[in-house]
Amino acid sequence: MQFDLVSPERSLASLDVTAVQIPGADGDMTAMADHAPTITTLRPGILSAEGAGGATEYLVTGGFAEIGAAGVTVLAERAMPKADVTQADMDALMAEAKSAMEGASTDALDDASKMVADMAQAAALLGLTA
């Protein structure tokens, strides 16, 4: 199954994989070959693509994933390989999410605080402090 990870600035990965774990907005999902065509938005989290050479993991925030007959395309607003994420990157993302929460109207507050919580969870998965 073809897997593409694309950020607005460039294409980050294009691999042949067996399964992709996607941090969907409504919960994680794993897409394998012949998955029903689905479009889901992403929450901040770890995206993992399992191929012949083991799993490749990325930190992604925002965007959406398109699961089609040809494979999985993830359009992430920001994505970086898990190994490259530093505490400084995490701090910047966290600060951004928090400032969005502070500026949010009551309608958007739920989404914003969920964003912060997701971010904290992603940080914990990476072994960093939020």
Cβ atoms of 120 and 94 within 8 Å: the answer is yes
**Residue 32 vs 124, nearer CB to another protein:** 32
**Residue 16 vs 111, nearer CB to another protein:** 111
Structure tokens, 104: 């949010």
Return residues touching another protein (CB under 8 A).
Answer: 4, 6-11, 24-26, 29, 36-41, 62-64, 66, 68-69, 73, 75, 77-78
Dihedrals phi, psi of 95, to nearest 5 degrees: -60, -40
The rounded distance, in Å, linking the Cα atoms of 114 and 34 is 31
The rounded distance, in Å, linking the Cα atoms of 18 and 95 is 35
> At closest approach, how far in Å is the CB of 46 from another protein?
18
The rounded distance, in Å, linking the Cα atoms of 21 and 92 is 25
> At closest approach, how far in Å is the CB of 45 from another protein?
14
> At closest approach, how far in Å is the CB of 107 from another protein?
11
**Residue 95 vs 124, nearer CB to another protein:** 95
> At closest approach, how far in Å is the CB of 112 from another protein?
13
The rounded distance, in Å, linking the Cα atoms of 100 and 70 is 36
**Residue 9 vs 102, nearer CB to another protein:** 9
